[in-house]
Amino acid sequence: MILVTGGAGFIGANFVLDWLALNDEPVINLDKLTYAGNLESLSSLQSDSRHVFVQGDIGDSALVSGLLATHQPRAVVHFAAESHVDRSIHGAEDFIQTNIVGTFRLLEAVRAHWAALPEADRAAFRFLHVSTDEVYGSLTPDAPAFTETHGFEPNSPYSASKAASDHLVRAWHHTHGLPVITTNCSNNYGPYHFPEKLIPLMIVNALAGKPLPVYGDGMQVRDWLYVKDHCSAIRRVLQGGQLGETYNVGGWNEQPNIEIVRIICSLLDELRPRADGASYTTQITHVKDRPGHDRRYAIDARKIEQELGWKPAETFQTGIRKTVQWYLDHSDWVERVQSGAYRQWVKAQYGTPATA
């Protein structure tokens, strides 16, 4: 059995679904169910005894300790985090509490549990910490991609909080011997993505006839990783990763944001044409850039390929087509996830409502 934190969020839910589709090892899924946590993403597991969902906070030490004692997981996969840069700019405290304090309390509960295990179980135990490439800061256009030895230079409250959590995980390994592994991934996209991030927001707004808000000149470059490729990388690292090591996980798909939006528009023009025959690109609207917006992230994922034999199965072209088609096929999921709080957030951030 494994314990997954944040398993009702975007990446966590995809991981849980893929895990149980590929093997019968049960999952304890601990999620606080904040605005981005959505149990509907896991509705196919509602009657599956292999999936045990617990609503709770990773910062609740008593709860976490009780789950560890009751279920005796062989590993913890730690996804739980506040993860939206824009939200961190407008209100950083939740990011500090969850990403730093929450990770600290989780580490302490896991350390106490691990230390009391029989020797063989202690040797086999793993704590896999899922992090982001944003901890490395911003790259110039011609700079080499981030490697695992790149210095941390976080530029937003979100990335600073994730960098702090990475440092805590490293320290608990070197100080206490906790068997940890860290992964730092690039921008994920795919099914069940809450429509505040770039790709799902563009799809949802386009279909609703709304403006497609692009920050600044739209030339911010990101490496894009299909979420199911990310999940396969995490499974491989959990299986064979070296203790105390960090593995960068990327899609080898660097694209500027404006090009991402144009590709989405082109796919929608093909798959769900506008009634008036115009291209969705006519809805693109440039808005004021956000403070401290990093210009480029790029992941060098050679280490995980060379040491563990992992590389992404999807190109951006295949992954984005699957993603757009998923949103077209699951408009009911999108409609239900768009709560009043979500509409208010998008209006405050972009000056336009998410729905009519």
Task: Indicate the helix (H) or strand (E) that contains 75.
Answer: strand 75-78
Q: Which residues on adjacent β-strands are paired with residue 187? A: 224
Query: Mean pLDDT per 10-residue run, the chain (356 residues)?
Result: 96 98 97 85 93 96 98 98 82 93 98 98 98 96 96 95 98 98 97 91 96 95 97 98 98 96 98 98 94 91 98 97 97 79 52 43
Q: Please answer whether residues 280 and 204 qualify as being in contact, where contact means their C-beta atoms are separated by less than 8 angstroms.
A: no
Q: According to the model, what pLDDT value does residue 277 have?
A: 97
Q: According to the model, what pLDDT value does residue 348 have?
A: 64
DSSP string, 37-67: --GGGGGGGTT-TTEEEEE--TT-HHHHHHH
Write down all domains in the chain, each with its CATH number in brackets: 2-194+226-254+296-315 (3.40.50.720)
Q: What is the pTM of this model?
A: 0.92
Q: Please answer whether residues 200 and 207 qualify as being in contact, where contact means their C-beta atoms are separated by less than 8 angstroms.
A: no
Between CA 356 and CA 295 the distance in angstroms is 32
Q: Please answer whether residues 298 and 134 qualify as being in contact, where contact means their C-beta atoms are separated by less than 8 angstroms.
A: no
CB-CB neighbours of 102 under 10 Å? 27
> What are the backbone dihedrals phi and psi of residue 180, each rounded to the nearest 5 degrees, phi first?
-105, 155
Q: Listing from the earlier edge strand, what are the strands of the sheet with 27-31?
A: 51-55, 27-31, 2-5, 75-78, 126-132, 180-185, 246-249
With a CB cutoff of 8 Å and minimum separation 6, the contacts of 80 are 5, 6, 9, 12, 30, 31, 32, 58, 98, 102, 106
Q: According to the model, what pLDDT value does residue 339 have?
A: 63
Q: According to the model, what pLDDT value does residue 346 have?
A: 46
Q: According to the model, what pLDDT value does residue 230 have?
A: 98
Name the residues annotated as catalytic.
133-134, 158
Between CA 253 and CA 323 the distance in angstroms is 15
Between CA 214 and CA 72 the distance in angstroms is 46
Q: According to the model, what pLDDT value does residue 72 have?
A: 98
Between CA 100 and CA 160 the distance in angstroms is 9
Q: pLDDT (tens digit, 9 = 90+) per residue, 295-306?
A: 999 999 999 999
Q: pLDDT (tens digit, 9 = 90+) per residue, 11-38?
A: 999 999 999 999 999 999 999 988 778 8
The alpha carbon torsion through 12, 302, 299, 247 (nearest 10 deg) reads 40
Q: Which two tokens stand for residue 15?
A: 């991981």
Q: According to the model, what pLDDT value does residue 85 have?
A: 79
